[in-house]
Amino acid sequence: MDFDLHPDQLALQKAAIDFARNELASGMIERDAQRAFSHEGWKKCAAFGVQGLPIPEEYGGGGADPITTIAVMEGLGYGGLDQGLLFSINAQLWTNSIPLLKYGTAEQKRKYLPGLCDGGLIGANGASEPNAGSDVFSMRTRVTRDNAGYVINGTKTYVTNAPVADLFVVYGTLDPRLGVLGICGFILEKGTPGLSVGKKLDKMGLRTSPMAELVLENCRVPATALLGREGRGAEVFNCSMAWERACILATCLGTMRRQLERCLDYARTRTQFGQPIGKFQSVANRIVDMKLRYETARLLIYKVGWLMQQGKSADMDAAMAKLHVSESFVKSCLDAIQIHGGSGYMTEFEFERELRDAVGSTLYSGTSEIQRNIIARGLRL
């Protein structure tokens, strides 16, 4: 079994690292404090090809396979510091572009995918509700048929990119009594009558990724706005979550790698009590744990990419990767702070922001508890 990336993938990953270092690493302390989304960074990422990585070339994408996509995302996380921007890009890729590619009509794909790839459009996903988070299919957003199409009423929350989005994938139910068979997905454009962005939401981390509520009040849409088949929206949503869980934490993997290297360098050069602090077992053990977390996380994520590339089911493996990487990311951030002592607690060292960003990874795309439930079902428990 070959665990190495091939030369073309390594070259792309190195290019992503260099790009992110040059374009996505400056001014982060200030932008984090200001909660400032970088439209310029978004455009630069699109020009580099990030937003279109796994999308076929016929729609303006790069046509990259899953492993190559993961390798590039890891490189961006290693070289860049703007986890919020990368999170926003991931949110668009896995909850807008991929569902459109897999379930959109030929017309929908021609109309929207090129703009999502070239940065001209920003996408957002409206699924979660105030009373339907982990239990997302208990959503109360109602969809009613009429002669012209559908009327949608409801409120969505935790909508990443909502304040800046041009395009929304929104889910609602024809009848709560139908359960998952009542769910429908829709593609809505900004400015659609009855669709409005509600209260902006401030977060502990990922502050450069904007978030808000989404309000649908007698929002009338034509039948052509339906994404996939009527009553099969749960299938569309589950597809997006499978891709998201598989790929969204690749950027975090890159950050874990960078943290490990920073801590190694610090432990070798920082001297206390007459010797490098890496000679102290308590420090060395933390770095060993960081190394172990990174390597196991990498194996899990790239295995999921390999399974997807082979056309095999990756649901349980994606849940394992998402669970392990997110929880490992938090632990490694805490270790990085502890290794650097008082300096690690300071804003200028940037570990505290990375910790705040990491905490969210145990919540988005399904909480750690939900991932454990998925794994348990896969084990037939």
Catalytic residue from among 23, 213, 244, 354: 244
Contact call for residues 327 and 368 (beta carbons, < 8 A): yes
The encoded tokens of residue 149 equal: 């199409």
The encoded tokens of residue 249 equal: 């934490």
Which residues face 159 on adjacent strands? 212
3-state DSSP assignment of residue 158: strand
H/E element holding 218? strand 211-222
Angstrom distance (rounded) from CA 89 to CA 85: 6
Contact call for residues 276 and 269 (beta carbons, < 8 A): yes
Angstrom distance (rounded) from CA 32 to CA 377: 39
Angstrom distance (rounded) from CA 69 to CA 54: 6
Angstrom distance (rounded) from CA 221 to CA 288: 55
Contact call for residues 247 and 74 (beta carbons, < 8 A): no
Contact call for residues 169 and 95 (beta carbons, < 8 A): yes
HSE of 37 in the Cβ direction (CA atoms, 13 Å)? 18
Angstrom distance (rounded) from CA 121 to CA 111: 11
Torsions phi, psi for 310 (to 5 deg): -85, 0
Angstrom distance (rounded) from CA 123 to CA 119: 10
Angstrom distance (rounded) from CA 352 to CA 83: 13
Contact call for residues 7 and 68 (beta carbons, < 8 A): no
Pairing of strands 271-272, 275-276: antiparallel
Amino acid letter, 347:
T
> Could you confirm whether 244 is annotated as catalytic?
yes
Kindly list the catalytic residues: 244
